[in-house]
Amino acid sequence: MQTFTDSYDKAYLLETMMGPNAMRVTEEMTSYLPMKEGMRILDLGCGMGISSILLAEKYGATVFAADLWVSPSENFDRFKRLGLAQNIIPVSVDITKGLPFAHGYFDMIVSVDAYNYFGCNDTMLPYLVQFLKKGGHMAVAVCGVKEDFPKDRIPKDMQPYLELDMGFHPLSWWRRLWSKEPHFCLQHCREMDCLRQSWDEWLESPNPYAQRDIPMMEAEGGKYFSLIQITGQKAL
Ligand SMILES: C[S@@+](CC[C@H](N)C(=O)[O-])C[C@H]1O[C@@H](n2cnc3c(N)ncnc32)[C@H](O)[C@@H]1O
C-alpha cells in the first residue's frame, strides 16, 4: 500500500531530513495512535519540520513545531511556502530550559529522532506529561541499539563513529524508564518496521551529515542499531 510518505515529493524530503526519514517514521508511529482532525500536537525537536508537515497534512492537526537548532523563522518560511502557515506554528524551544505552554494544553506530544538528546533521564517524561490533556498521548521514536554493548564497550567496528554518551539504549531500557511514571500508561515499546528504509533514505540525502553516516552504516551492517517507538497515554 502506498503511504502518504511514499507519495510525497522525495527531493523535498531529502533536502529537509536531519536523520532517518522523519516523515516515514512519524507515519508509522501515528498508525498506532488515535489521530483526530484538529488535535493540538507539540512536535518536540522537529528539526526542519517534515514530521510536523505529515501531522498537519495527513491528519489536519494543529502543530507546534518546536526546535533548538533550526530557527522558527526558517521553519515559518518553509511552512508558508507549503500553504501550512495556519496549521503549523514554529517555536524556538530548548526543552532543558522548559516549555512556554500551559499545563494540559496538548492532545499529543510527538518527538522523532530527538528525545535521546534530552530525555534519557527520570525527569523529562513526568515534566512533559504535565503539558498533556488527561488521556493525551506521548509518542517518541528514537535511535537506539538492539542490545546493550557487552561490558559497555563500543564494538571495534563502530568505535570510529560512536561514543558511549550518545543516548543509544535498547528497547528494554526505554520500557523500564517509561514504566516508572505513575498516572501514565505505556502502550507500545517496539522496534519500528521502517528502520532500514528510513535510514536508507537518509543516506540518499545531500546533507553532509548523511554523507558522513554512509561509512558508519556500512560498518553497522544491520548488527547493532534499532529504531524504537515508545507511546503511551496520560491517565484520564
Ligand atoms: C537529529 S535532529 C532530528 C530533527 C528532526 N526531528 C528529524 O528527524 O528530521 C535532532 C533535533 O533535536 C533537537 N534538539 C536537540 N536538543 C534539543 C533541546 N534541548 N530542545 C529542543 N530540541 C532539541 C535539535 O534542534 C534537532 O533538530
58-116 per-position pLDDT tens digit: 999 999 999 999 999 999 999 999 999 999 999 999 999 999 999 999 999 999 999 99
Question: Bridge partners of 66?
Answer: 44, 91
Q: How far, in Å, is the centroid of ligand 1 from the Cα of 49?
A: 10
Q: Binning pLDDT at 50, 70 and 90, where does residue 166 land?
A: confident
Q: How far, in Å, is the centroid of ligand 1 from the Cα of 117?
A: 7
pLDDT of 209 > 90? The answer is: yes
pLDDT of 152 > 80? The answer is: no
Rounded-to-integer distance, Cα 65 and Cα 37, Å: 17
pTM of the model: 0.97
Q: Binning pLDDT at 50, 70 and 90, where does residue 32 land?
A: very high
Binding pocket residue ranges, ligand 1, CB within 6 Å: 17-19, 22, 45-47, 51, 67-70, 93-96, 112-114, 117-118
Q: How far, in Å, is the centroid of ligand 1 from the Cα of 74?
A: 15
- Average pLDDT score over the chain: 96
Ligand 1 atom at shortest distance from the alpha carbon of 111: 6
Determine the straight-line distance between the first and last CA of the chain, rounded to whole angstroms.
35
- The mean per-residue pLDDT over the stretch 156-166 comes to 89
Return the pLDDT at 106: 98
Q: How far, in Å, is the centroid of ligand 1 from the Cα of 66?
A: 9
Q: Binning pLDDT at 50, 70 and 90, where does residue 150 land?
A: confident
Chain segment 34-69, per-residue pLDDT in tens: 999 999 999 999 999 999 999 999 999 999 999 999
Widest Cα–Cα separation across the chain: 51
Question: If you take atom 16 of ligand 1, which residue's CA is the nearest one?
Answer: 117
pLDDT of 188 > 80? The answer is: yes
- The mean per-residue pLDDT over the stretch 137-156 comes to 92
User: Nearest-CA neighbor of 138 among 38, 49, 32?
Assistant: 32
Neighbours of 121 (CB within 10 A): 10
**Order of strands across the sheet that contains 62-67:** 88-92, 62-67, 40-44, 106-112, 132-145, 225-234, 184-191
Three cell numbers, residue 177: 524508564
Rounded-to-integer distance, Cα 161 and Cα 28, Å: 27
Return the pLDDT at 165: 82
Rounded-to-integer distance, Cα 153 and Cα 159, Å: 9
pLDDT of 1 > 90? The answer is: no
Which CATH number is correct for 4-234, 3.90.220.20, 3.40.47.10, 3.40.50.150, 3.40.50.1820? 3.40.50.150
User: Which of the listed residues 112, 118, 166, 198 should we mutate to test ligand 1's pocket, taking the one with most ligand atoms within 8 A of CB?
Assistant: 118
Rounded-to-integer distance, Cα 6 and Cα 20, Å: 14
Q: Binning pLDDT at 50, 70 and 90, where does residue 122 land?
A: very high
Return the pLDDT at 164: 81
In eight-state DSSP terms, residue 108 is E
Q: How far, in Å, is the centroid of ligand 1 from the Cα of 21?
A: 14
Neighbours of 173 (CB within 10 A): 16
User: Which of the listed residues 17, 41, 113, 205 should we mutate to test ligand 1's pocket, taking the one with most ligand atoms within 8 A of CB?
Assistant: 113
